[in-house]
Amino acid sequence: MARIRNTARLFRDPAYALALSELDKEITRGGVFRVDPEGWFSRPAPIEVEIGAGKGDFIVARARAHPTSNFLAIELGGSAFHWLMRGVIDAGLPNVRALHADARSVVNLLLPAASVAAFHIYFPDPWPKNRHQRHRLFSPPFVAGLARCIRPDGVVYLATDVQPYFCVLSGLMRAGGFELVQRPETDDLRGAFGRKFERAGRQIFRACYSRSGLSKPSA
């Protein structure tokens, strides 16, 4: 109940209402839903995308640390997205935007080809029961979508606390033409799940993948 009350307060905030209104205009310009990262930011720059951004702790911190890049945070959960938007608004950074959408549709259909410098996908729901696995984010079509969107020099960062699921993800990425590469770790523990699992002492399994297999350092 407290979460519902807190979320409701967001809608009464004029700054929040204005931000949502402007977002609606941008994604439906011309009467057609579209994802146009270059049109959403004030300058052209490499774009990084976080899928399942939650409340935005990671993406906002990374946008602040890397002001020469643009950042898009995608979140499907309604309540989480409202708090993500609140975090983006409060940060006041020109290089981070939030999108309420199913990442599978965005990656498979809506993002421009060869447009993303880095994907950040941290702690996706493993849906461990067999009857629920159809709900998993990762599938061969989704990995094909990542390959379509990633730039030739782009990378995909992954992290999970579930080792069997990490093995599944690794297999899907390899089957989709990605290769494991060595890159500087990102601060994926900054998000809510990362902090929670770190406090609990749970092992985190991380990987970074590239379509080219090159191990050039990334920003």
Provide the 10 A C-beta neighbour count for residue 195. 12
What is the DSSP secondary-structure string of 102-120? -HHHIIIIISPTT-EEEEE
Q: State the pairing for strand pair 179-180/205-210.
A: antiparallel
57, 125, 153, 161: the active-site residue: 125
Residues 6 or more apart in contact with residue 215 via CB below 8 angstroms: 181, 182, 183
* 125 included as an active-site residue: yes
Residues 6 or more apart in contact with residue 174 via CB below 8 angstroms: none
Residues 6 or more apart in contact with residue 204 via CB below 8 angstroms: 159, 160, 161, 188, 189, 194, 197, 198
Residues 6 or more apart in contact with residue 126 via CB below 8 angstroms: 136, 160, 162, 164, 165
Residue 9 token pair: 């307060």
- As annotated, the active-site residues are 125
